[in-house]
Amino acid sequence: MSTDLFFDGNAVAGELRNVFCNDVTAAEGECAACGKIAPLAEGRVYAFAPGIVIRCSACGQPLLRLVNADSRLWLDIRGLVYLQFRSL
């Protein structure tokens, strides 16, 4: 395979910066467990643990997990099929 057909991940740094500089709670997502589509802000937030968990308001399954510890940040969004942002 020729290496001129692709770039490494650094090529999307600008686009990803645009995504993560948005208000993510306003983004609409689909729950991977039940299919509910809603803004992330409608989720139920549990923050009394080592991290933060946002659960689907319909079925209670985790949508997003966020842990900030040891000078590192972990983001797990396996509970979402997608997050859709409005274009700027």
pLDDT tens figures, 56-81? 999 999 999 999 999 999 999 999 99
Percentage of the chain lying above the pLDDT 70 cut: 95
* Angstrom distances, CA of residue 79 to CA of 15, 23, 32, 40: 23, 19, 5, 12
Whether the CB-CB separation of 59 and 32 falls below 8 Å is answered with no
- What is the pLDDT at residue 88? 62
- The DSSP result for 3-33, as a single string, is GGG---GGGGHHHHHHHHTS-GGGSEEEETT
Does residue 1 register a pLDDT over 60?
A: no
pLDDT (mean) for 5-27: 87
- What is the pLDDT at residue 2? 61
